[in-house]
Amino acid sequence: MLRCPRKWSAKKSYRSTRSSKVATPVTIPAVVPKPRAQTGDAVARLVVLAFAASILLITAILVRELWVTSDLSRHKFGLGFLSSSLWNPVTEEFGALPFLYGTAVTSLVAMLIAVPLGLGAAIFLSEMAPPRASNVLTFMIELLAAIPSVIYGLLGLFALVPLMREYVEPFLKSVFGFLPLFKGPVFGLDYLSAGVILAVMTVPFIISVSREALLAVPREQREAALALGATRWETTWKVVVPYARLGISGSVFLGLARALGETMAVTMVIGNSPSVHASLLSPGYSIAAVIANEFSEATTAMYQSALVELGLVLFLMTIVINALARIMIMATTRKGSKR
């Protein structure tokens, strides 16, 4: 009597296994609609793509307008427009060399002053200053970056120019007067004053961006260098600064772009003389300054076309400098990745 339930249960399980082998109908899965999240991602992708394409469209429209409006000047002067130093609206003879030279010289002087000053201040604020003092000073520096350029121009005209004319430039002439860069009479309204005011305007950008790049360096990099016996300064200069070199390079080129396109401050202190001089103590002109000064006075089509062509040249200069900056950053990145 005890074995019957076992046999019966075995037969039952056998029958159930045989019955499980019966073919079942195949069901075709229905088409499942895409989730709403994927649809939203596609819409967002199209929206941001349209925003990015609009930047390229605006740039293309800007280049086209500058190219078309400068048609008269381009056809009359050709490439000689870049090498000629004659600027005479009466005879309608125009050349861009004095303005190219003035823009390049003032920007170079500004970078020679602003880069060491900005990098040193950024290192102090990120590595050596107390956090509270660093935050307060950074806030003040960012306020300097927001000051309009015409205010800098007024400060340069009434404060910087007298200082340069009475103290700085006579000292430089007495010490370095044997060099061509510091010969000639002292006016105060010259390349050097324009370079100094540009340096004051670009330093806040260099400090702010460089400080953020230095703060982004991982703490482990500093701790590893200190653990190997490096001093705090050696850690900063040999570990932290090289690690943040891309951000620092970006800040320098951002400041250079600001210096190239600055208008009002340079117009007030550069002297506005369309000529080429080797001395930094001589008055000059820049592309942005001549456009701002003379565009309202351009009464002829050729005069306006020459000024617009100067704007086109300045725009192309900015594009070339940004391209060189990108190439340099890419080369530095590849060199660093190979190590």
**Mean pLDDT calculated for residue range 136-155:** 88
> Running DSSP on this structure, what letter comes out for residue 160?
I
Banded model confidence at residue 145, pLDDT cuts 50, 70, 90: confident
CA-based nearest residue to 190, from 273, 86, 113: 273
Extents of the domains making up the chain = 67-338
Q: How far is the CA of 260 from the CAs of 50, 103, 108, 290, 319, in angstroms?
A: 30, 6, 10, 13, 11
pLDDT band at 200 (very low <50, low <70, confident <90, very high): very high
Residue 92 has pLDDT above 50, yes or no: yes
Arithmetic mean of pLDDT, 171-197: 90
Lowest-pLDDT choice from 5-19, 88-102, 122-136, 241-255: 5-19
DSSP state letter for 88 = B
Span 315-336, average pLDDT:
73
In 10 A of CB 14, how many CB atoms?
10
Instruction: Give the global pTM.
Output: 0.80
Listed in sequence order, the residues at least 6 apart from 248 whose beta carbon sits closer than 8 Å to its beta carbon are 119, 122, 209, 210, 213, 214, 241
DSSP class of residue 28 equals P
As given in the structure block, the two tokens for residue 248 are 């620092």
- Tell me the average pLDDT of the chain: 84
Q: Residue 25: its pLDDT value, please?
A: 56
Structure tokens at 267: 């117009």
Structure tokens at 41: 């991602």
pLDDT value at residue 36: 61
CATH 2.30.33.40 fits 67-338, yes or no: no
pLDDT value for 317: 87
